[in-house]
Structure 1
Amino acid sequence: MSLLIHDENRVRTLTLDRPDALNAFNEALYDATAEALLDAAADPTVAVVLLTGNGRAFSAGTDLLEMHQLATNPDFARGKHGFLGLIDALVAFPKPLVCAVNGLGLGIGATILGFADLAFMSTTAKLKCPFTSLGVAPEAASSYLFPQLLGRQNAAWMLLSAEWVGAAEAHEMGLVWKVCEPDDLLPTARKHAELLAARPISSLIAVKRTMVEPVRAEIAAARERENAAFAELMGGPANLEALTAFAEGREPDFTNLPEGW
């Protein structure tokens, strides 16, 4: 099982558990996480979900070896929910979502913070949105949520540069709420999650709904724009060069692509 689930004091902790793959999301983990969020949403005994990772990574994003198969093999078997289904579950999740970023966070391991109600980050963790280094477009409504959360220029740097951002910088930008020493991360995140979980679930849901409802249409529109751009770019010259370079263990070279790429 690539996802660990633990219930305590009305907090359901979801731990991404593919440490050998830096908790990268393959189709199975996308499905398991989406299912877990749907189950937690419907469970009247769960007030808050706490999401973290096992090992030295929070999540390395989409499994690039599997992405290469998806890009090159039309018969590759997709999961029940997949990436888009996980984002659907995050958008719809009606209860507080607390993220504890324990290590490396790439791609969805960073953009998922746009859906966090509270985000905590280890001092040793770092984040990257690698879209331009993969020759693709933003994801998970980050093109809308990040400018709202971080301001335009911080969001532009995160989404355009494909560079690492450390914990102090992520905190200064407003991407995470609190930074903790590694050993303090989970206890601190859990303490805050349990404080929320002691409140009435109906009230928690009402507060989150009134905060999220005004931006639902913008999130949906951003996802449509991103998905269209991603579909156009995935499998294109830049993306195939990036994925081939990853599979071959080398740095991609985007300088000899066709004009406009």
Structure 2
Amino acid sequence: MTILLVEDCDRVRTVTLNRPDALNAFNEALYDALTEALRAAAADDSVAVVLLTGAGRAFSAGTDLAEMAARVSNPDFVPGKHGFTGLVDALEEFDKPLILALNGLGLGIGVTIIGFADLAFMSTASKLKCPFASLGVAPEAASSYLLPQLVGRQNAAWILMSSEWIHAPEALEAGLVWRVCEPDELLDAARKHATTLAALPISSLRAIKRTMMEPLREGIAAARLRENQCFADLMGGPANTEALTAFAEGRAPDFANLPAGW
């Protein structure tokens, strides 16, 4: 199965995450594929806008937890060419409009990617979650910096800390997404807006995006360094180990009996 579907129409490149049986969770192969797709779209003069969505009932369930567990437990695990870090690099560097059509479940990178999007459309059937604390890890993708920019400190604190679902009305009210649509209208609405932008000069679109992004780059870089260090400190620790063990055993994690400080 092709894990990424690409379709061009009217200078809009629609990219569809296509691991529906895994809820479009990102394994190393999908991280690499989307990284290369974004770089290819940036370099292609026939593409003005990228529209990103998911196949099936999920936008993306975030990082593939089975592969995360293998990374922790297997010293011979071979990472992808680009991996998670490469994808975030590509998102930060992408200099054309990026539009999201959040068609279903979104977790982890399926939510934090919104921080790099220019417009996000969300289905009324979609729900979003940042499960970092419930996995015993830290935020990612500069979300500790970009989400407060979008939704304010308190909304961002709840989204990043609680591991609770955020439904479409809450996401719209907080400013996490720009429009909420019925499921059968989502792609049409996103494509309509993408096509409107794509009819405009790419040079102007790039200039506008550059002038909007440039003031944020220092903060993004600093946040990524902080997050990466926290993630490295927590990955494989008692809380993360309990979360991944519970996932593998099909039960809820129990953090009550962790060592002091965890």
TM-score class, shorter: over 0.9
- Aligned partner of 1:244 in structure 2 is 245
Q: After alignment, is 68-77 or 41-50 more displaced? A: 68-77
Distance 2:54 2:144 in 1: 24
Distance 2:74 2:147 in 1: 32
- Aligned partner of 2:212 in structure 1 is 211
- Aligned partner of 2:20 in structure 1 is 19
Distance 1:229 1:71 in 2: 16
Distance 1:74 1:8 in 2: 44
Distance 1:161 1:247 in 2: 22
Q: Aligned pair 1:165/2:151, yes or no?
A: no
* Residues 34-88 of structure 1: CA deviation (Å, up to 9, x unaligned): 0000000000100000000000000000000000001111210100000000000
C-alpha deviation, 1:7, in angstroms:
0.6
What is the DSSP-based 3-state SS (H/G/I as helix, E as strand, rest coil) of the residue aligned with 2:255? coil
- Aligned partner of 1:138 in structure 2 is 139
Distance 2:109 2:225 in 1: 17
- Aligned partner of 2:183 in structure 1 is 182
Distance 1:36 1:164 in 2: 29
Q: How many residues align?
A: 261
- Aligned partner of 2:59 in structure 1 is 58
Matches within 5 A, 1:108-123: 108-123=109-124
Matches within 5 A, 1:76-95: 76-95=77-96
C-alpha deviation, 1:217, in angstroms:
0.6
What is the DSSP-based 3-state SS (H/G/I as helix, E as strand, rest coil) of the residue aligned with 1:98? strand
C-alpha deviation, 1:180, in angstroms:
0.2
- Aligned partner of 1:74 in structure 2 is 75
- Aligned partner of 1:48 in structure 2 is 49
Q: Give the aligned residue type for 2:5.
A: L
Distance 2:173 2:149 in 1: 15
What is the DSSP-based 3-state SS (H/G/I as helix, E as strand, rest coil) of the residue aligned with 1:14? strand
Distance 2:16 2:75 in 1: 31
Distance 2:89 2:256 in 1: 36
* Residues 95-138 of structure 1: CA deviation (Å, up to 9, x unaligned): 00000000000000000001110000000100000000000000
Q: Give the aligned residue type for 1:151.
A: G
Distance 1:236 1:73 in 2: 15
TM-score (norm 1): 1.00
- Aligned partner of 2:151 in structure 1 is 150
C-alpha deviation, 1:23, in angstroms:
0.3
Distance 1:192 1:227 in 2: 35
* Residues 176-207 of structure 1: CA deviation (Å, up to 9, x unaligned): 00000000000000000000000000000000
What is the DSSP-based 3-state SS (H/G/I as helix, E as strand, rest coil) of the residue aligned with 2:8? strand
Distance 1:47 1:72 in 2: 42
User: RMSD value over aligned CA atoms?
Assistant: 0.4
Q: Give the aligned residue type for 1:76.
A: F
TM-score (norm 2): 0.99
| Unmatched segments (≥5 aa) in structure 1 | none
Distance 1:210 1:26 in 2: 33
What is the DSSP-based 3-state SS (H/G/I as helix, E as strand, rest coil) of the residue aligned with 2:252? coil
- Aligned partner of 1:201 in structure 2 is 202
- Aligned partner of 1:39 in structure 2 is 40
